Amino acid sequence: MNDEILILADPQSKVWNFARSIYGRLNSDPNRLVKYRLGIVNIIKFNDGEIFVKIEESVRNMVCFFVHDSSMSPQDWAMSLVEINDALIRSSAREIYNVLPYMRYSRQDRMTDPRTPVTSGVLARMIGMVANGVITTDLHNPAITGSYSLPFDNLRAYSTIISYLRHKYPDFLENLVIVAPDVGSAEMAKSYAKRLGAGVAIVDKSREKAGVVGKMTVIGDVSGKNVIVVDDMIDTAGTLCKAAETLKEGGALKIWACATHGLFSNNAVERLNASYFEKVIVTDSIPQESLGNIEVVSLMDLFAETINRISHGRSVSELFK
């Protein structure tokens, strides 16, 4: 790679401090073989809603890591990403890496009905035309990486969350069961349990009709145990809060939740603060502040180390062994 790496972000965005922290962390490493710089991308919205972007410095023959703001609306997020990639390639950037802490549109990963799009695939084609690589965290469906014909690092946030738990709440972890809120989260629950030396349980749910959850049943023993419910994201938190009620009925002691992406739509924060969850731990993949029983853990070190390893031609997967 080039001996100069450019970390780019929009200084008016909520992700600017995240990108600036990555830059500071990279430059504090005495073993680095490359020089890192922090650069500015301006993302402007005109009165009619159209988006305009401008890179404020030369990127000719440089390796560029663009850190995007996941808190933008999905439409603004996608359009500005496409425009920035186009601007970088037209400005003769040598390599382009999209750093997307939370990848929008990743939930639209299949045809749910006839005559519907696979939007995650559309995004893959748009990114694949110009970018050289993608870095993101905990895709809703890891199989999405198969839509990309370029290097794709789908980082695992559990390493950061587990380190946070061990440092701040060691006593809570001594009597612990990890709970998957559905079968789809079972593998993530096993990853947490293996590293924390805990048992595993699953909340099985039936649906009365589309979008309405019926009866929930706990598969596994949570009686007299502290419980952490783990998932890749929390959206409305309705099903999650109902799972907490079921776990409490099953005799669980303290009930916590850990998730990578805190979407928190439709009054989810208020719903969680009124629930049986004593703590809800999420990352800053979507920029936000701790509030009530919600605690935010930063992924800055994880992304900084990933960029550092890519810059120096080292393995990223070793981070999660």
97 Cβ contact partners less than 8 Å away, ≥ 6 residues apart: 63, 64, 65, 66, 131, 132, 133, 134, 135, 307, 310
Do both 209 and 263 map to the same domain?
A: yes
Residue 249 has what DSSP assignment?
H
- The closest of 117, 67, 95 to 313, measured between CA atoms, is 95
Co-location of 55 and 109 in the same domain: yes
Cβ(276)–Cβ(255) under 8 Å? yes
Provide the pLDDT for residue 214: 66
Three-state secondary structure call for residue 293: coil
How much is the pLDDT for 86? Answer: 97
Residue 204's pLDDT is 87
Question: Would you state the pLDDT for residue 38?
Answer: 97
Same domain as 290, residue 304: no
Provide the pLDDT for residue 184. Answer: 84
Instruction: Give the residues of the chain that fall short of pLDDT 50.
Output: 210
Same domain, 139 and 221: no
Decide: residue 313, CB within 10 A, 0-12 exposed, 13-18 middle, 19+ buried: exposed
pTM of the predicted model, to two decimals? 0.94
| One domain, residues 178 and 278 | yes
User: Are 277 and 309 members of one domain?
Assistant: no
Phi-psi region of 237 (alpha: psi -120 to 50; beta: other; left: phi over 0): left
**Where would I find the H helices in 207-251?**
238-249
Count of structural domains within the chain: 2
Q: What is the pLDDT of residue 212?
A: 57
Q: Are residues 152 and 8 in the same domain?
A: yes
Helix axes 74-90, 119-128, angle to 10 degrees: 20
pLDDT in tens, 60-115: 999 999 999 999 999 999 999 999 999 999 999 999 999 999 999 999 999 989 99
- Count CB-CB contacts under 10 A for residue 86: 15
Is 279 annotated as catalytic? no
What is the pLDDT at residue 39? 97
Clarify whether residues 150 and 183 are in a common domain. no
Question: Are residues 54 and 177 part of one domain?
Answer: no
The enclosing domain of 313 has a CATH number of 3.40.50.2020
List 205, 242, 248, 254, catalytic entry = 205
Whether residue 175 sits in one domain with residue 133: no
Taking each helix axis from N to C terminus, what angle separates 158-168 and 300-311, rounded to the nearest 10 degrees?
130
pLDDT, residue 209, reads 54
Domain shared by 93 and 199, yes or no: no
Q: Which domain holds residue 265?
A: 158-297
Indicate if 106 and 150 belong to the same structural domain: yes
